[in-house]
Chains A and B, each alone.
Chain A
Amino acid sequence: MKFEKKRASTKQEIPTASMPDIIFMLLLFFMVTTTLREVEVFVNYSLPEAKAIEKIENRRLISYIWVGQDGRIQINDSLVKMEEIQSIMYTKRQALPNVIVSLRIDKNTDMGYVTDIQQELRKAFCLRINYSANVKI
């Protein structure tokens, strides 16, 4: 008697034809979620940590002010002086009336310095601010 080995008649390959489609889907997801960094940060800073943190829903409204360890202030692409903050922020506010100013201040800065910046912001009528902080675990 002759025995024949049983073999499945189906192909023993993984179909790869739809792989590009899957990859493209992933690709599209990342392309949509990516926000490329528009500004280069010149100052060196480390943010304080906090628990009671809120997220800013609307990214478009945010305007940043960085303050580094050495006390240098950066707005947009350039380092600015304390006296210039008011005029810069005022033009920003005119372009975007409900601008939120995110303050990315180094945690070892003196409060007097922070208060000065806040006074400038008040003069420029940028009243909505956000103290940027990392989540404390």
Chain B
Amino acid sequence: MIKKKKLPEATIPTSSMADIAFLLLIFFLVATVIDVDSGIGMTLPEFIEDVETVEVPKDRMAALLINETGDVLLDGQPISLFQITATLKPRIQSKIDLPKNKKLIVSLKTDRRTVYNAYIQALDQVKEAFFEVRDEYANSKFGQKFNDLDETAQNEVKEAVPIIISIAEPEKIK
């Protein structure tokens, strides 16, 4: 009688699986770039050949001028870059209750030689002013910050405090 040979149990060695998985994990850890695209959003006006000029009442406009050395002029008054938010806020707030066509317009104009950084700093200050007013308005009306509101409430706040920033048409070089 032939004795049946006892076969060893057939198994796949899994002890190295963790190592392989670790290796893959490390690769993806290194390759991952979690960089969120963030920045200051703007909408450009459409390009029209013949620009119509519309007169805007003076109290509705806040004209910001930045020259090539980075000095800021707000409605003809020299002002430091960091005061823009504080100066604009009361002016935006005073127009919350006014109808849509009477809200504050901030116009931003630069020289051709102005450094991009100065422009962004000024734009940042203006945006900051609008965001702070929005937050305060949302807080007084709904008791929450703007970002925590639901969509309908957010739209209501947007309606009351619209962000109108006009990038002035560049002047033609004569």
Q: CB distance A27 to B39 under 8 Å?
A: no
Contact flags B80-121 to A (C-beta < 8 A → 1, else 0): 000000000000000000000000000000111111110111
Q: Which residues of A contact B (CB under 8 A)?
A: 16, 19-20, 23-24, 26-27, 30-31, 33-37, 48, 50-56, 59, 62, 100, 102-103, 105-112, 114-115, 118-119, 121-123, 125-133, 135-136
Q: Given the known A-B contacts A55-B36, A111-B115, are A131 and B120 also in contact in the complex, defined by CB atoms under 8 Å?
A: yes
Residues of B within 8 A of A112 (CB): 111-113, 170
A32: min CB distance to chain B, Å: 9
| B:124-153 near A, CB below 8 Å | 124-125, 127-128, 130-131
Residues of A within 8 A of B40 (CB): 50, 52-54, 130-131, 133
16 A-B contacts (beta carbon < 8 Å):
A16-B18, A24-B21, A30-B32, A31-B28, A50-B40, A50-B120, A50-B124, A52-B125, A55-B38, A107-B115, A112-B170, A115-B110, A115-B170, A127-B44, A133-B39, A133-B40
- Complex CA gap A59/B36 in Å reads 9
- Interface of A, helix, strand, loop or mixed by DSSP: mixed
- Complex CA gap A127/B14 in Å reads 56
Among the interface residues A19, A20, A135, which one has the most CB atoms of the partner chain B within 10 A?
Answer: A20
Residues of B within 8 A of A51 (CB): 124, 128
Q: Which residues of B contact A (CB under 8 A)?
A: 14, 17-18, 21-22, 24-25, 28-29, 31-34, 36-47, 110-117, 119-121, 123-125, 127-128, 130-131, 167, 170
- Complex CA gap A130/B40 in Å reads 5
- Complex CA gap A112/B66 in Å reads 12
Residues of A within 8 A of B34 (CB): 33
Residue of A with least CB distance to B123: A131
Q: Given the known A-B contacts A48-B121, A119-B47, are A108 and B39 also in contact in the complex, defined by CB atoms under 8 Å?
A: no
Q: CB distance B128 to A56 under 8 Å?
A: no
- Complex CA gap A130/B39 in Å reads 6
Q: CB distance B28 to A34 under 8 Å?
A: yes
Kindly identify which residue among B22, B42, B131 contacts A130, using a CB–CB cutoff of 8 Å.
B42
